[in-house]
Structure 1
Amino acid sequence: MKQFFLTLAGVFAGLVLFVIVTPIALIALAAAGSSAPATSPNTVLELDLREGLTDQPPTNPFAAFGGAELSVIEVVDALDRAGDDRNVKAVLIRLPEMGMTPAAADEVRQAVRRFRASGKPVIAHSQGFLPVGAVMSSYMVGASASELWMQNTSSFQATGFAADEVFLGDAFGRYGVTADFEQRYEYKNAVNTFTESDFTPAHREAMLSWMRSIYDSALANAAADRRQTPAAMRQAIESGPHSAEQAMALKLVDKIGQVEEAEAEAKRRAGRNAQLVSVADYVSNHGLQPGSGSDAIAIVNAEGAIVTGRDAGGGFGSGSTIYSDDTAAAIYEAIENRAVKAIVIRVSSPGGSPDASEQILAAVRAAKAAGKPVVVSMGTYAASGGYWISSEASAIVAQPSTLTGSIGVFGGKFVLTEALGRFGVDLRGLSVGGEYADAFSPTGRFEGQDRAAFAASIDRTYDQFIARVATGRRLPEARVREIARGRVWTGAQARELGLVDELGGLHEAIARAKALAEIPADRSVRLIRYPTQKSPFEALSEAFGVSAEGAQALVAVGGVLASPEAQGVIARARTEQLRARGASVLADQPVR
């Protein structure tokens, strides 16, 4: 019977490989192997922001099947390339109804402005702005267009910026869960979700501060792009909500119409027989710009939570994680490449392991010691561990709305004995060795020497964090302690505090890297990206635990086995194999 189930498992794995993976791999290989066709004359590039954006392109070629199809980096690169592409005559933007990630909106807006500087029009269309999240960031992108259209039935409800927080303190108390944490210091608010029932004064102060910064920045940018004063823009926005007609009367939008009408207008401006091409297809056909020249700038991708170890592969999703082994190895590889004169690390991370962060920071130090400047380009956020790995860079570039800082530490555990006991579950523990061996047991709170030892470890990590920031930013430790305390800042605020050098995106970070490497601003450079994009065969190898060569052979065979005749032979062979091993097979039918 055991062998029967093992055989069935093998059959299922085979079916997954041939029925699901093989077609995907063949599609990916066809796309990878085809030469990029020239853009058709009079192309209108369509940028649909409604599906959301990741910060960076994935290294797994199948990641697009699991989530957002585009990244901020790809959008910016496509718009920059399209500005120089004589066949691309206009851009059509589909705006999301709800908020965009503020830092992503900053970077997209900057790319739109550079595209418009080439003399080509951008038409944005909205089906409404709903009061959800940072909706002003969505409006800011629309305001950067040559024309902003709105559907006639849609409502303009972008009147501010609201954020909600869930507090579990009372619920945990009611159900017998104890959240036993240490935090350094009062602004390190992640633990408040578990210990409080409302905003603490520090939590409220910090959140309102960065929310106002993001809101004010979006208002100012929208006002500048719409050629209004910030005061007039604020008055028009905050007097809402508005109907589409009212929004146009207040000069918040330019025209009212259906998206098909906006598309027709973009095509009219592009010229005769204009064709609509999605940014996703444009990126797929052309890839990211490699640049040219003898000198190179390395671009190291770092998106997600920071953890120790390396990526073992094995997935088709789009989730991102910064593995310290992989990211450090990418930096060391860039150090060893003689053509690389400077390194830009694109960081978009809420933080993670201090040990993993220190491993990556050590690689940053090694690059600087090798004479290669390191510039950090901050994306959506570079907070806590994300700032740790950035702290000693040669320069830091952040968007005005990037969330950064959070220079602090927290840690702890959940005590579950009482909660489980209410359901008749008894939780008991045993330990051998030192008194600290069971410090993190969920059976009880930190007590006595355990509490002192744990608090000391938190203090030690905090002191190390402060020391890295003081060294990297050339600030007195006392000043760092004053502005740290776990507080989150926007990029605009961080620049005023000396935690960031320049406001901008990857475009500006590359320019800063060239300057630090003493490469003339007008000299073209190659862009070498690390980690390198995996081939479809390498991705299959990691996902199914076979060699890349074996995956290639399986995909090739899969193309042959797709025929009905071959599938019938395979099904009959499997049936005979199962019968020979004692299985009861009811019918010789191929699986469909």
Structure 2
Amino acid sequence: MKQFLITAAGVFAGLVLFLVGVPFLLISMAANATRPEATPSHAVLSLDLRESLSDQDPSNPLAAFGRKSMSVMSVIETLRRAETDGKVKGVLVRLPEGGMEPAQADELRLAFKHFQAAGKPILAHSQGLYPSGVVTATYMLGASTGNLWMQPGASFQVTGLANEDIFFKRLFDKYGVKADYEQRYEFKNAVNPYLHDDYTPAHKESTLSWMGSIYRTGLTTAALDRKKNPAALQAAIEAGPYLAEDAAKLGLIDKIGQVKEAQTAILAKAGDGAKLVDFTDYMRANHERSTGSGPAIAVIEGEGAIVTGKDGTRNPFTGGSTIYSDDLSKAIYDAVDDKNVKAIVLRLNSPGGSDTASEQILAAVRAAKAARKPVVVSMGTYAASGGYWISSQASAIVAQPTTLTGSIGVYGGKFALGPALAKYGVDVRETGVGSPYAGAFGMGQEFSASDRAAFAGWMDQIYANFIARVADGRHLPEARVREIAKGRVWTGAQARQLGLVDEIGGFYQAVDKAKALADLKGEVRLKRMTKQSSPFEALEGVLGVSATSLKTLAAAAWIMGDPRAQSTLDGLVDERLRSEGHAAVLAPRPGAF
């Protein structure tokens, strides 16, 4: 039997290597063999924003095989390098037809303005603007270039901002499903679609508040860039929709032309012999990582839901983002231990997640401050709920005006499925030992009165902890924090007025703030501290063997394997983040985004 198990294990290992190792090595070799061409002496970068953007590059090196997209951070950093590159003469931007995440548009607008301040033009071209997502953000970004073109006959449907939610309460009632949740408090509406059949007054008030703030910000910014009266611009936009030709007559755009004509126009400005260069090719050819010694500002990035543990268990070929508390806190502690690091910029883009994981990361933030290393948080599209928990005690917080933050609250509970299953002859029974609370989160029935009382008391304690951390970090009375908390989502502009955010701006404004707090002068290098897995490490967590073993065994697979074998590692799902039995400090993600 022992020999049989050894043989079976060997066959399984060989199969895994055959199906994974060989194609992986082939892909790696192909990727390394493909090098971007040198930048021509007169280049116009072609930046295509029609595919979705993440906020940050994935730490997983294999994620690029699962999707083709850029990150906001990689775009703004590449534009900074292109400003001083004498070969780059301008940028052509292809705008998406639908909406963009507003804070992403804000960050890119700042980068565009900085690039233009270096004396280099940007031309934005649109093949239509349709009411999908926050289309006002797309228009605002295009308007910031001062050279916004549209294709002849294209639609200009920038008339407002709408958000749609689906409510399941009546469906649950019909089939006997009970969503049994506790919320702290009325604005913590992430689970409202399960509890109600329409917006509650608080839900409606909160949603209209942040939507109105985002809408006003986008229109005011577009009016500023187009040198128009904000009220007049709003009236013209809301009187639409229009075709491109009408939008041009109203001064909403600059010119009508096909993509080819726009390319010809920007190339003419770049000089004789100018060529279009794909933005991603230029980015790869000019990718730089911090080197050298001397004073540095650590850049630490985190994107996605916040969970406990460390990376290494998810599908290595997916690009999904998750903040693992062990990894992010370790990056902060590494920055604390690095004698050259004088300050930290923590870039966050997260709607929240686990309260305990958020607290673990916050402890690392406190440790950095105790070591006299200022921590400045740069907020992306979201830094809400658990994302704000992490940020609350930073040395300073910098957010875009349309960042969604706050959501200082907590919820938790379960779905009671027993009555629904009973209708189909399925009975759920429970047995156990110890306190009756041990089975409180069973799906067979709703909370008992005693279980609900115990659970609600625990939720109150989590909420009180959240309030205390915000009050301490933001130097606000607890009573004031309770007044503006209750789970309510605020935009960055609103949060600045409430004292939850220090400054309005983007990543490079956060870098400037960190320099000032650390009393650093002149040019300071940025040192990335976020863990970047090697390709072998990315597979290690899934296969359960060491990176060294993988290298050795993959080499054997290369000799003995079939190069045509295909990978079968699809569909692995990380299910660590569950709401049942836990307190979730997670903000709602608006459907419009």
Report if TM-score (shorter chain) is over 0.5: yes
Quote the Cα distance in structure 2 between the aligned partners of 1:557 and 1:146: 58
1:293: how far off? 6.3
Q: Given that residues 54 and 68 in structure 1 are in contact (C-alpha distance below 8 angstroms), is that contact kept between their aligned partners in structure 2? A: no
Aligned partner of 2:23 in structure 1 is 20
Normalising by structure 1, we get a TM-score of 0.90
From the superposition, tell whether residues 541 and 26 of structure 1 become closer, same or farther in structure 2 (CA, over 3 Å).
Answer: farther
Q: Deviations over 1:420-478 (max 9, x none)?
A: 11211111111111121111111111122211100000000000000000000000000
Q: Given that residues 69 and 280 in structure 1 are in contact (C-alpha distance below 8 angstroms), is that contact kept between their aligned partners in structure 2? A: no
Quote the Cα distance in structure 2 between the aligned partners of 1:357 and 1:259: 46
Quote the Cα distance in structure 2 between the aligned partners of 1:561 and 1:77: 43
- Counterparts of 1:391-470 in structure 2, within 5 Å, are 391-470=392-471
Quote the Cα distance in structure 2 between the aligned partners of 1:146 and 1:479: 43
1:138: how far off? 0.6
From the superposition, tell whether residues 274 and 360 of structure 1 become closer, same or farther in structure 2 (CA, over 3 Å).
Answer: same
- Count of aligned pairs: 560
Quote the Cα distance in structure 2 between the aligned partners of 1:305 and 1:283: 28
Aligned partner of 2:107 in structure 1 is 107
1:205: how far off? 0.5
Aligned partner of 1:308 in structure 2 is 308
State the secondary structure of the residue aligned to 2:57.
Answer: coil
- Counterparts of 1:161-176 in structure 2, within 5 Å, are 161-176=161-176
- Counterparts of 1:94-133 in structure 2, within 5 Å, are 94-133=94-133
Quote the Cα distance in structure 2 between the aligned partners of 1:247 and 1:387: 40
Alignment gaps of 5+ in structure 2: 566-593
1:361: how far off? 0.4
**Aligned-partner residue type, residue 431 of structure 2:** L
Aligned partner of 1:49 in structure 2 is 49
Q: Deviations over 1:228-260 (max 9, x none)?
A: 111121121111000110010011111111112
- Counterparts of 1:169-184 in structure 2, within 5 Å, are 169-184=169-184
From the superposition, tell whether residues 169 and 68 of structure 1 become closer, same or farther in structure 2 (CA, over 3 Å).
Answer: farther
State the secondary structure of the residue aligned to 2:378.
Answer: strand
**Aligned-partner residue type, residue 79 of structure 2:** L
Quote the Cα distance in structure 2 between the aligned partners of 1:93 and 1:186: 42
1:533: how far off? 2.3
Quote the Cα distance in structure 2 between the aligned partners of 1:317 and 1:468: 35
From the superposition, tell whether residues 545 and 286 of structure 1 become closer, same or farther in structure 2 (CA, over 3 Å).
Answer: farther
Aligned partner of 1:333 in structure 2 is 334
Identity of aligned residues (%): 55
Q: Given that residues 291 and 527 in structure 1 are in contact (C-alpha distance below 8 angstroms), is that contact kept between their aligned partners in structure 2? A: no
Q: Given that residues 380 and 403 in structure 2 are in contact (C-alpha distance below 8 angstroms), is that contact kept between their aligned partners in structure 1? A: yes
* 1:234 maps to 2:234: yes
- Counterparts of 1:515-526 in structure 2, within 5 Å, are 515-520=516-521, 523-526=522-525
From the superposition, tell whether residues 328 and 117 of structure 1 become closer, same or farther in structure 2 (CA, over 3 Å).
Answer: same
Alignment gaps of 5+ in structure 1: 571-592
Quote the Cα distance in structure 2 between the aligned partners of 1:323 and 1:254: 46
Higher relative contact order (CA 8 A, sep 6+): 2
From the superposition, tell whether residues 14 and 239 of structure 1 become closer, same or farther in structure 2 (CA, over 3 Å).
Answer: same
- Counterparts of 1:319-398 in structure 2, within 5 Å, are 319-398=320-399
1:11: how far off? 6.0
State the secondary structure of the residue aligned to 1:276.
Answer: strand
Quote the Cα distance in structure 1 between the aligned partners of 2:284 and 2:30: 12
Q: Deviations over 1:301-346 (max 9, x none)?
A: 1111111111124511110111111111110000000000001111
1:561: how far off? 6.8
Aligned partner of 1:574 in structure 2 is none
* 1:482 maps to 2:478: no
**Aligned-partner residue type, residue 162 of structure 2:** A
From the superposition, tell whether residues 134 and 16 of structure 1 become closer, same or farther in structure 2 (CA, over 3 Å).
Answer: same
**Aligned-partner residue type, residue 320 of structure 1:** S
Quote the Cα distance in structure 2 between the aligned partners of 1:29 and 1:554: 21
Aligned partner of 1:576 in structure 2 is none
Aligned partner of 2:579 in structure 1 is none
Quote the Cα distance in structure 2 between the aligned partners of 1:560 and 1:14: 11
Which deviates more from structure 2 when the two are superposed, residues 180-189 or residues 283-292? 283-292
Quote the Cα distance in structure 2 between the aligned partners of 1:518 and 1:118: 27
**Aligned-partner residue type, residue 271 of structure 2:** G
**Aligned-partner residue type, residue 21 of structure 1:** F
Quote the Cα distance in structure 2 between the aligned partners of 1:351 and 1:60: 21
From the superposition, tell whether residues 279 and 390 of structure 1 become closer, same or farther in structure 2 (CA, over 3 Å).
Answer: same
Which deviates more from structure 2 when the two are superposed, residues 478-487 or residues 282-291? 282-291
State the secondary structure of the residue aligned to 2:227.
Answer: coil
Quote the Cα distance in structure 2 between the aligned partners of 1:454 and 1:73: 41
From the superposition, tell whether residues 262 and 291 of structure 1 become closer, same or farther in structure 2 (CA, over 3 Å).
Answer: farther
Q: Given that residues 101 and 381 in structure 2 are in contact (C-alpha distance below 8 angstroms), is that contact kept between their aligned partners in structure 1? A: yes
Quote the Cα distance in structure 2 between the aligned partners of 1:252 and 1:558: 60
1:567: how far off? 6.5
Q: Given that residues 292 and 525 in structure 1 are in contact (C-alpha distance below 8 angstroms), is that contact kept between their aligned partners in structure 2? A: no
State the secondary structure of the residue aligned to 2:508.
Answer: helix
State the secondary structure of the residue aligned to 1:467.
Answer: helix
- Counterparts of 1:541-552 in structure 2, within 5 Å, are 541-552=540-551
Aligned partner of 1:499 in structure 2 is 500
Quote the Cα distance in structure 2 between the aligned partners of 1:534 and 1:294: 25
* 1:279 maps to 2:279: yes
Aligned partner of 2:149 in structure 1 is 149
From the superposition, tell whether residues 551 and 284 of structure 1 become closer, same or farther in structure 2 (CA, over 3 Å).
Answer: farther
Q: Deviations over 1:549-589 (max 9, x none)?
A: 34444565677679xxx879x9xxxxxxxxxxxxxxxxxxx
Aligned partner of 1:580 in structure 2 is none
Quote the Cα distance in structure 1 between the aligned partners of 2:255 and 2:30: 41
From the superposition, tell whether residues 527 and 37 of structure 1 become closer, same or farther in structure 2 (CA, over 3 Å).
Answer: farther
From the superposition, tell whether residues 240 and 289 of structure 1 become closer, same or farther in structure 2 (CA, over 3 Å).
Answer: farther
State the secondary structure of the residue aligned to 2:148.
Answer: strand
Largest Rg, 1 or 2:
1
Aligned partner of 1:81 in structure 2 is 81
Q: Given that residues 561 and 567 in structure 1 are in contact (C-alpha distance below 8 angstroms), is that contact kept between their aligned partners in structure 2? A: no
**What is the RMSD computed on CA atoms of the aligned residues?**
2.2
Q: Given that residues 296 and 340 in structure 2 are in contact (C-alpha distance below 8 angstroms), is that contact kept between their aligned partners in structure 1? A: yes
Aligned partner of 1:202 in structure 2 is 202
Which deviates more from structure 2 when the two are superposed, residues 416-425 or residues 457-466? 416-425
- Counterparts of 1:555-566 in structure 2, within 5 Å, are none
From the superposition, tell whether residues 431 and 47 of structure 1 become closer, same or farther in structure 2 (CA, over 3 Å).
Answer: same
Q: Deviations over 1:111-141 (max 9, x none)?
A: 0011111111101110111011100001111
Quote the Cα distance in structure 2 between the aligned partners of 1:143 and 1:561: 58
State the secondary structure of the residue aligned to 2:391.
Answer: coil
State the secondary structure of the residue aligned to 1:213.
Answer: helix
* 1:539 maps to 2:538: yes
Q: Given that residues 161 and 211 in structure 1 are in contact (C-alpha distance below 8 angstroms), is that contact kept between their aligned partners in structure 2? A: yes
From the superposition, tell whether residues 557 and 227 of structure 1 become closer, same or farther in structure 2 (CA, over 3 Å).
Answer: farther
1:534: how far off? 2.4
Q: Given that residues 292 and 524 in structure 1 are in contact (C-alpha distance below 8 angstroms), is that contact kept between their aligned partners in structure 2? A: no
Quote the Cα distance in structure 1 between the aligned partners of 2:539 and 2:525: 29
Aligned partner of 2:512 in structure 1 is 511
Quote the Cα distance in structure 1 between the aligned partners of 2:176 and 2:484: 36
Quote the Cα distance in structure 2 between the aligned partners of 1:561 and 1:122: 53
**Aligned-partner residue type, residue 99 of structure 2:** G
Quote the Cα distance in structure 1 between the aligned partners of 2:444 and 2:551: 51
From the superposition, tell whether residues 288 and 177 of structure 1 become closer, same or farther in structure 2 (CA, over 3 Å).
Answer: farther
Q: Deviations over 1:164-217 (max 9, x none)?
A: 001111111111100011001110001211010000000000000100110110
Q: Given that residues 22 and 554 in structure 2 are in contact (C-alpha distance below 8 angstroms), is that contact kept between their aligned partners in structure 1? A: no
Aligned partner of 2:220 in structure 1 is 220
**Aligned-partner residue type, residue 533 of structure 2:** K
From the superposition, tell whether residues 434 and 567 of structure 1 become closer, same or farther in structure 2 (CA, over 3 Å).
Answer: closer
Quote the Cα distance in structure 2 between the aligned partners of 1:18 and 1:150: 47
Q: Given that residues 362 and 389 in structure 2 are in contact (C-alpha distance below 8 angstroms), is that contact kept between their aligned partners in structure 1? A: yes
State the secondary structure of the residue aligned to 2:352.
Answer: coil
From the superposition, tell whether residues 478 and 305 of structure 1 become closer, same or farther in structure 2 (CA, over 3 Å).
Answer: same
Q: Given that residues 316 and 539 in structure 2 are in contact (C-alpha distance below 8 angstroms), is that contact kept between their aligned partners in structure 1? A: no
1:15: how far off? 3.7
